[in-house]
Amino acid sequence: MDVGLRSELQRHGIFVTTLEELYNWGRSNSLWPLGFGLACCAIEMIAASMARYDLARFGAEVFRPSPRQADLMIVAGTVTKKMAPQVVRLYNQMAEPKYVIAMGACAISGGPFKQGYNVLKGIDRYIPVDVHIPGCPPRPEALIHALMTLQQRIAAESLVGPNRPRHLRRDQPGEFPVPEYGSHDLIPPKNESIWRPPVIVRSG
């Protein structure tokens, strides 16, 4: 519909919208996170959901204790290799559509423990991450910013056509392989189909 006509109608008290917009508006304003924290970032996540920062303004205050009711997984904190299969399994058990925010340096890349023997170098090795928040830990404002970024992304999703998001495509997987405990490392150490190490060429 023409934007001019739409605003003209709106001025006369007639609100016109599309099914897609209505759907995305509803979904982006009721993102229910899965209630779990892995490390110190979880404290900031809790702070963001409390009265001062008030995540409820964005409809995201309902931390669900079950993945069946959650839309959003906030990976808040260090993902150890022992914890990684559980996180991936929780992600798999969430109902579509589902989104992931990797909160903090550890969840993005392993952070200060990157060289450690027991820390996963970023949760995006196993599950697709929608928004990364840097910081150690990120402030609640950063989490709110990430949530708003995610809301904008959801609002821009299309219901039909080739640019449909993952959860609307039949050929895209809804669950990702859960890594297994090996004798020296997780098997596989990364999901090659969704994550590849950055290609870097040394200049000299």
Partner 1 sequence: MLCLLDSDEVARLASVGLVLSHIGMDGGSTEYLTLGIFLVAACLFALMPLGLARLWAWRFAPTKPGPVKNSIYECGLESQGDAWRPFKSAYYLYAIVFLVFDVEIVFLLPFAVAFGGLPLGAVLAMMLFVLLVVEGLLWAWAKGVLRWS
Partner 2 sequence: MESTETIRLRILEAVPGALLEVVPNGAPVGQPSLLVDPEHALAVARFLRDAPGLQFDYCSNVTGVDWLDREEEEIVRDRVAETGGEKKIEEPRKRVRPGYLEVVYHLYSMALRHGPLVLRLRTGNRTDRVRLPSLTPIWRSCEFQEREVYDLFGVVFEGHPDLRRILMWEGFQDYPMRKDYVEPDDYEYEPTPHDDVWEKARRHYPAPTVGSGGETSGNPGS
Question: Least Å distance between CB 92 and partner 1?
Answer: 4
In order, the DSSP letters of 128-143 are --SEEE-SSSPPHHHH
Q: Which is nearer to partner 2, 19 or 201 (CB)?
A: 201
User: Where on the chain is the footprint of partner 2 (CB under 8 A)?
Assistant: 82, 109-110, 114-115, 117-118, 121-122, 181-185, 189-190, 197-198, 200-204
Instruction: Describe the strand order of the beta sheet including 72-76 as a list of residue ranges.
Output: 72-76, 99-103, 131-133
Smallest distance from the beta carbon of 23 to partner 2, in angstroms?
Answer: 38
Site for partner 1 in 43-72 (CB under 8 A): 66-68
Using the contact rule CB under 8 A, the part of the chain among 3-11, 83-91, 100-108, 132-140 near partner 1 is 83-91
> CA 50, CA 137: separation in Å to the nearest integer?
17
Asked if residue 107 lies in contact with residue 131, where contact means CB atoms within 8 angstroms, the answer is no
**Under rule CB under 8 A, residue 159 binds partner 1:** yes
Tell the smallest beta-carbon distance from residue 65 to partner 1 (Å): 9
Burial class of residue 72 in the structure, from the number of CB atoms within 10 Å of its CB (0-12 exposed, 13-18 middle, 19+ buried)? buried
